[in-house]
Each structure stands twice: as C-alpha cells, then as structure tokens.
C-alpha cells in the first residue's frame, strides 16, 4: 500500500493514479530516488566511529600527560602552582577532543534515526497540503 501525497488515502501498489488525480507512479519514483540518496549519504558514516575512538584516546592521553607532568614537577620540588598548572593544561587539552567525539556521537545518532526523521517530516509536509 502507498499513501497518496495529496489526499492521504491508502492505495494498492497496482494503482497508477489516485482517485484525486495524483500520479502515484511518479510519486513512487520520487520515493525510490529519496531512498537511493539516503543510502548513499549513510556510507561516509562508517569511518566516524574510528575517528570518535581516536579522539577519545587522544583526550585520555592528554589528561594522562598533564597528570604525569604535574607529578614530575612536584617530585622535582617545583612550586605546587606550577605542577597544578601543568595538570590543568593537560585537562584543558582534553576538552576539544571530547567535544569532537561527542559531536560525532550526535551525528551518528541522527544518521541512525534518519529514516524516522524523514518520515515525520513527510507527514508534516502532507498535513500542510
């Protein structure tokens, strides 16, 4: 069954033209083209989880290097504020890495729900007509 974009009636796939006059055959072609484009858009997202893991790993290394630097300065009897600032520097470097990883997570979540979002947009569009 296919739903007519003009009158919102359900029609069997064998029907070429709806009772309201809408050409369902061209509408089916539009839907097929949208599906083809949608499947092509999803392909680039296959490498994003690797990039996300790399960013999280860099964030961990940055935090660890700040901690090791702070401990090394403290052991060498440098002032405590210098050791603390070394730790804060390492912690500050983790922020952009984690922000990038979370941005990728949002992008992956949206790409998983892309069909659902498109269907809701189509329903809204049909309700406006």
Looking at residue 32, its pLDDT comes to 81
Same domain? For 79 and 29 the reply is: no
47/29 Cα distance (integer angstroms): 31
Q: Per-residue pLDDT for the chain (129 aa), expressed as one digit of tens each?
A: 778 888 888 878 787 888 888 888 888 888 888 777 666 555 556 788 899 999 999 999 999 999 999 999 999 999 999 999 999 999 999 999 999 999 999 988 887 787 788 888 888 888 765
Same domain? For 23 and 85 the reply is: no
Same domain? For 89 and 113 the reply is: yes
Looking at residue 76, its pLDDT comes to 94
Same domain? For 128 and 103 the reply is: yes
Question: How far out from the chain centre does Cα 60 lie?
Answer: 22
Same domain? For 29 and 87 the reply is: no
Compute and round to an integer the Cα radius of gyration of the chain: 27
**56-89 CB burial, b ≥16 within 10 A, e <16:** bebbeebbebbeebbeebbeeeeeeeebebbbee
Looking at residue 55, its pLDDT comes to 96
Looking at residue 28, its pLDDT comes to 82
Same domain? For 58 and 27 the reply is: no
Nearest-CA neighbor of 41 among 128, 127, 126, 112?
112
Domain count, the chain: 2
Looking at residue 114, its pLDDT comes to 79
Looking at residue 129, its pLDDT comes to 53
Looking at residue 37, its pLDDT comes to 67
97/54 Cα distance (integer angstroms): 9
Nearest-CA neighbor of 20 among 96, 126, 101?
126
């Amino acid at each position: 069954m296919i739903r007519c974009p003009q009158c919102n009636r359900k029609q069997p796939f064998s029907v070429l033209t709806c009772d309201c006059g809408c050409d369902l055959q061209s509408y089916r072609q539009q839907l097929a083209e949208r599906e083809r484009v949608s499947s092509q858009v999803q392909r680039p997202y296959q490498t994003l989880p690797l990039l996300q893991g790399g960013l999280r790993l860099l964030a961990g290394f940055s935090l660890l290097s700040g901690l090791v630097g702070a401990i090394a300065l403290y052991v060498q009897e440098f002032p405590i504020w210098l050791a603390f600032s070394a730790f804060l520097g390492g912690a500050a470097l983790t922020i952009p890495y984690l922000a990038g990883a979370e941005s990728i997570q949002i992008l992956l979540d949206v790409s998983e729900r892309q069909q659902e979002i498109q269907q809701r947009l189509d329903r809204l569009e049909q309700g406006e007509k």
